[in-house]
Amino acid sequence: MSHYAVGVDVGGTSVKLALVSEEGEVIEQTSVPTLGDESPDATVSQIAETVAAFKKNLKAGDEILGIGIGVPGVVDLDGGTVSYPPNLKGWGVVRLGDLVKKATGYETKVENDANVAAFGEGIFGSGKNHNSFIMITLGTGVGGGIVIGKKIYRGMFGGAGEIGHISIQHDGPACNCGNRGCIERYIGQQNIVDFAHQTVGKFPHSPLARTAEDRRLEVKDLGLNAVKNDEFSIHVLGHVGKLLGVALTSMLHILDIRTFIIGGGVAGAGDFILGPAETHIKTHALASMRHSVKLIPAVLGNNAGVLGAAAMVYQN
Amino acid sequence: MSHYAVGVDVGGTSVKLALVSEEGEVIEQTSVPTLGDESPDATVSQIAETVAAFKKNLKAGDEILGIGIGVPGVVDLDGGTVSYPPNLKGWGVVRLGDLVKKATGYETKVENDANVAAFGEGIFGSGKNHNSFIMITLGTGVGGGIVIGKKIYRGMFGGAGEIGHISIQHDGPACNCGNRGCIERYIGQQNIVDFAHQTVGKFPHSPLARTAEDRRLEVKDLGLNAVKNDEFSIHVLGHVGKLLGVALTSMLHILDIRTFIIGGGVAGAGDFILGPAETHIKTHALASMRHSVKLIPAVLGNNAGVLGAAAMVYQN
């Protein structure tokens, strides 16, 4: 007899659902379009139908213990309540946990998606051997989650881990969020590309830099060319790593958490970012704290969401 | 029959000791010079003698439950171990908790002094009605302590709460710690005075600004003159508040802790700093988090250390 959990990752364009074993193995997986413009009942029905389908495929005696859901936005644990999630226009204040429990009969836990992804890495991924770590996701934006003693750290109202909005320059450029000089404003995907275009002039011998006159570069171009020793790409990614290191150093000083797990599309450039970030911390952090700092790449990729959501079910 | 705890605050120049009731009342208090250049045994003897004297004065049936000690530097809870505290040159790695327990017979807890002061405010002072808060001490340097769920948050190795070394400008001036643009480098006491002197030229009508040609200003001059509506003083303290607000906004985004308790000598300027800091947060923090932010002044002053140390004894 085996136990399973259903992990659900509600994204802006698709809802991913997976049946996950206690060991973090994905047994069955599916994805449906997000009906974010409709009432939340539409999403609840999608989840209930998929859970029913998963259940039908189980062997006799096997059991689903519960459902975990990651959603964008701040989540109140009371009723698993989501309030005005930015990418789900049809939702207002939704007691999603209660609705899914009623529709499926299963206990349902709801948590912010960045926290869920961090938790997934902590239970089934790079963080497996670390009780406490900070996860940073580098993509369109810069997101994060903090895990302390194997638990998601939520803060007073579930908003903790908004790492992208640490200011690294008090009089820096305005961020969409209303703050100035946020780290996201420097190393969000499009900001990296902007910086690359501003920098091409310094690298007349770089073949990649020369192509930048005719087209908009992409972060993955930089990663691919850095591997080929292109000094322009190495310079731009090194700049990203250094600024990331500034934000991580401040987090280290506040939290004394020394393990950082770096994921997201931009982190595909790997050591060309992580190396300079680690060097920055080890040369700028307080001497008493800098030694044991570790930056490690996330390993779960796009599955961190469903795995973390399922892991919440097993946490009890 | 009453219970008491002995709170000890080991500073760079004096060791303060107090007999403290469960309600946080100081029953008896004394202070002896810090013998930091001698072996730690000298300090242990001072503590043991004072504890013996406190004990002698107790009424029959009254009891001392234990000893709490705040010391500068990073503390390992195992044995209450202090390692190379910067202001106590004669100390190396000292199992202070074990030594004091052996010398007095009482259970002894040791913790970093900034954490102890934060804990004191949390149990007996401004934080009494707050489960979680961040304490910031503005003085020669900028220190801090984080209390989460009525407990000191220590991080992985007891180094958490080094709030003064959050960088608010990645390419800012070098700090003694090895980092750049640390908040302490802008609003440490002498940095405030430096900024004031750089700014006098803009305030030709300020009587205080005019005196700055002949002497070095002090932060308390700014506080005293701000009350008299001196625009120069108000401007300088407002600048301090704004930059403090930048660091607090980053902490809010990381921790989602919305109560900030501000203490230390510089904080004597009160609302002239706290007002602009709160305004900065409420106009720059994420909309989802800014509303319930509160900045409140610390109330225990120089007694936060001994009271927090005693409170650690009662925590069990």
- Window 222-251 of A: residues touching B by CB (8 A cutoff) are 243, 246, 249-251
Q: Give me the DSSP letters along B13-81.
A: SEEEEEEEETTS-EEEEEEEE--TTS-HHHHHHHHHHHHHHHHHHSPTT-EEEEEEEEESS-EETTTTE
Crossing angle of helices A231-255 and A271-284, in 10° steps, is: 50
Joined tokens for residue A34: 């997000």
Residues of B in contact with A163 (CB under 8 A): 253-254
Residues of B in contact with A146 (CB under 8 A): 254
For domain A3-122+303-314, the question of CATH label 3.30.420.40 is answered with yes
Q: Give me the DSSP letters along B165-223.
A: G-BSBTTSPBPTTS-BSBTHHHHSHHHHHHHHHHHGGG-TT-HHHHHTTTS---HHHHH
Q: Are B67 and B100 in contact (CB under 8 A)?
A: yes
- Window 105-134 of A: residues touching B by CB (8 A cutoff) are 132
Q: Give me the DSSP letters along A271-286.
A: HHHHHHHHHHHHHHS-
Domain ranges of chain B: 3-122+303-314, 129-298
Joined tokens for residue B33: 């010079």
Q: Are A122 and A147 in contact (CB under 8 A)?
A: yes
d(CA A24, CA A310): 8
CA torsion, ordered A38, A41, A44, A45, to nearest 10 deg: -90
Identify the CA nearest to B163 among candidates B243, B235, B77, B276: B243
Joined tokens for residue B54: 């406190």
Residues 6+ apart with CB under 8 A from A192: A219, A222, A236, A240, A266
Contact flag B180-A251 (C-beta cutoff 8 Å): no
- B286 by Cβ neighbours in 10 Å (0-12 / 13-18 / 19+) ranks as buried
Question: Is pLDDT at B98 greater than 80 in this prediction?
Answer: yes
Residues of A in contact with B177 (CB under 8 A): 286-287
Residues of A in contact with B166 (CB under 8 A): 250, 253-254
For residue B144, give the 3-state DSSP assignment.
Answer: strand
Residue reference for tokens 């709460």? B161
When pLDDT is cut at 50, 70 and 90, the band that residue B269 belongs to is confident
Is B16 touching A (CB cutoff 8 A)? no
Residues 6+ apart with CB under 8 A from A77: A110, A154, A158
Comparing A3-122+303-314 with A128-298, is the CATH topology the same?
yes
Contact flag B253-A154 (C-beta cutoff 8 Å): no
CA torsion, ordered A70, A141, B242, B268, to nearest 10 deg: 40
Residues 6+ apart with CB under 8 A from B273: B138, B237, B238, B240, B241, B244, B262, B266, B267
Contact flag B287-A158 (C-beta cutoff 8 Å): no
d(CA A85, CA B182): 35
Q: Are A28 and A54 in contact (CB under 8 A)?
A: yes
Mean pLDDT to the nearest integer, B172-201: 96
The complex's ipTM?
Answer: 0.93
d(CA B209, CA B201): 8
Residues of A in contact with B143 (CB under 8 A): none
Contact flag B169-A170 (C-beta cutoff 8 Å): yes
Using CA coordinates, name the residue in chain B closest to A130: B156
Contact flag B156-A257 (C-beta cutoff 8 Å): yes
Question: Is pLDDT at B288 greater than 90 in this prediction?
Answer: no
Is B146 touching A (CB cutoff 8 A)? yes
Question: Is pLDDT at B291 greater than 90 in this prediction?
Answer: no
For CA atoms A70, A75, A77, A81, give the dihedral sign. Answer: negative
Beta bridge partners of A82: A75, A94
Is B160 touching A (CB cutoff 8 A)? yes
- C-alpha angle A127-A130-A132 in degrees, rounded to nearest 5: 100
Crossing angle of helices A189-199 and A231-255, in 10° steps, is: 130
For residue B313, give the 3-state DSSP assignment.
Answer: helix
Contact flag A162-B254 (C-beta cutoff 8 Å): yes
Lowest mean pLDDT, pick from B122-136, B152-166, B247-261, B263-277: B263-277
Q: Closest Cα of chain A to B12: distance in Å? A: 19
Using CA coordinates, name the residue in chain B closest to A186: B170
Query: Which of the listed CATH numbers 3.40.50.620, 3.40.50.170, 3.30.420.40, 3.40.50.300 matches domain A128-298?
Result: 3.30.420.40
Mean pLDDT to the nearest integer, B8-26: 95
Joined tokens for residue A27: 């047994």
Instruction: Report DSSP state, residue B259.
Output: E
Mean pLDDT for back-to-back runs of 10 residues, chain A (316 residues):
95 94 96 94 97 95 96 90 88 95 98 95 96 95 95 94 97 94 96 97 94 93 96 97 98 98 87 97 94 95 95 89
**pLDDT on residue A316:** 62
Q: End-to-end CA distance of chain B, in Å?
A: 19
Contact flag A243-B160 (C-beta cutoff 8 Å): no
Question: Is pLDDT at B84 greater than 90 in this prediction?
Answer: no
d(CA B246, CA A179): 9
For the beta carbon of residue B102, count every other beta carbon within 10 angstroms. 12
pLDDT tens column, B294-311: 999 999 998 999 999 999
Pairing assessment for the beta strands A133-138 and A259-263 based on DSSP bridges: parallel
Contact flag B156-A132 (C-beta cutoff 8 Å): yes
Mean pLDDT to the nearest integer, B242-266: 96
Q: Closest Cα of chain B to A163: distance in Å? A: 6
CA B212 to chain centre: 29
Using CB atoms, pick whichever of A156, A167, A292 lies closest to residue B246: A167
Is A159 touching B (CB cutoff 8 A)? yes
Q: Are B174 and B251 in contact (CB under 8 A)?
A: no
Contact flag A253-B288 (C-beta cutoff 8 Å): no
Contact flag A254-B286 (C-beta cutoff 8 Å): no
**pLDDT on residue A291:** 87
Contact flag A254-B74 (C-beta cutoff 8 Å): no
When pLDDT is cut at 50, 70 and 90, the band that residue B316 belongs to is low
Q: Give me the DSSP letters along chain A.
A: --EEEEEEEE-SSEEEEEEEETTS-EEEEEEEE--TTS-HHHHHHHHHHHHHHHHHTSPTT-EEEEEEEEESS-EETTTTEEE--TT-TT-SEEEHHHHHHHHHSS-EEEEEHHHHHHHHHHHHSTTTT-SSEEEEEESSSEEEEEEETTEE---SSS----GGG-BSBTTSPBPTTS-BSBTHHHHSHHHHHHHHHHHGGG-TT-HHHHHTTTS---HHHHHHHHHTT-HHHHHHHHHHHHHHHHHHHHHHHHH---EEEEESGGGGGTHHHHHHHHHHHHHHS-HHHHTT-EEEE---GGGHHHHHHHHHHHT-
Residues of B in contact with A289 (CB under 8 A): 157, 159, 162
CATH architecture of B129-298: 2-Layer Sandwich (3.30)
Continuous segment of H or E residues that includes residue B145: strand B142-148
Identify the CA nearest to A181 among candidates B158, B167, B59: B167
d(CA B168, CA A183): 11
